[in-house]
Amino acid sequence: MDIELKHIDFAYGTEGDAGKRAAGKRQIFADFSYLLREGEILCVMGASGCGKTTLLKLLTGQLRPQCGLIRGMERREISMVFQENRLCEEFSAETNVRLGCGRGYFGGSGRADIGRHLSEVGLCEAADKKVCSFSGGMKRRVAIVRALMSESDLLLMDEPLKELDAATKKAVTAYIKKYRGNRTTVIVTHDAKEAGAFGGKLLVLDKQAQPPKRDRG
């Protein structure tokens, strides 16, 4: 099922976002519309504060638009790489991945495959170590494996390659492309080269995002 965002208005500091009301109103989306086809990859780019992460939060339901509607999100199972890793720091990499797979393992691969997936992103030795002892890049890779292995039909990734060196970026990009399957995928990035490596469509958001400025098929 396609996901359709129709005439979305969203501003921080309004009724829909009580938490940031005190900071004053900041318009992010005004009459924003976009159609995301089932199974495609969409790379979202734009300057800081233009609404890339906000777009993901609207898709997950963490934020609600003040106007407009989002279709095609009913009964969707979402897995996500958050901007911050959001891992259970006192648990091992393996347990973190297992916890993300409570509703099942994507592609039918079971719990036994967690070690293999972690090896593919260079975490073979660290699988049973506590995440709190990991570097930023290692934590990032655990978060990516968790999202990829989790049974879902929508994959959201907020700057998945941040904190990774060039060689690891290449390996992790290949890993993501290999295991995303046919899931609809939205990837937020600052880097045009990264977006190019993932392929798929490109959506560049402006500040106070209007309808997309550029759309590459």
Distance CA 143, CA 39 (A): 21
Q: List the interface residues with another protein, window 73-112 (CB under 8 A).
A: 77-80, 82, 84, 86, 88-92, 95, 99-103
Residue placing its CB nearer to another protein in the complex, 65 or 100 = 100
Least separation in angstroms between CB 201 and another protein: 23
Cα–Cα distance measured from residue 24 to residue 14, given in angstroms and rounded to the nearest whole number: 8
Distance CA 131, CA 151 (A): 22
- 52 vs 146 by CB, closer to another protein: 146
Helix (H, G, I), strand (E, B) or coil at 139: helix
| Residue number, 152 or 189, with CB nearest to another protein | 152
Angle at the Cα of 87 (from 128 to 125), degrees rounded to 5? Answer: 25
Cβ at position 60, least distance to another protein in Å: 6
Q: Does 150 bind another protein (CB under 8 A)?
A: yes
Binding mask 157-196 for another protein (x = CB under 8 A): ----------------------------------------
Cα separation, 211 vs 50, in Å, equals: 12
Nearest to 136 by CA among 80, 85, 64, 190: 85
* Paired tokens of 133: 């002892």
Asked whether the CA dihedral 16, 17, 18, 22 is positive or negative, the reply is: negative
Smallest Cα–Cα separation from 76: which of 89, 60, 54, 100? Answer: 60
Nearest approach, Cβ of 44 to another protein (angstroms)? 18
Find the shortest distance in angstroms from Cβ 148 to another protein: 12
210 contacts another protein (rule: CB under 8 A): no
Q: Mapping DSSP to helix (H, G, I), strand (E, B) and coil, where does residue 103 land? A: coil
Residues 9-48, one symbol each (x = binds another protein by CB under 8 A, - = not), give ----------------------------------------
Residues that bind another protein (CB under 8 A): 60, 62, 77-80, 82, 84, 86, 88-92, 95, 99-103, 146, 150
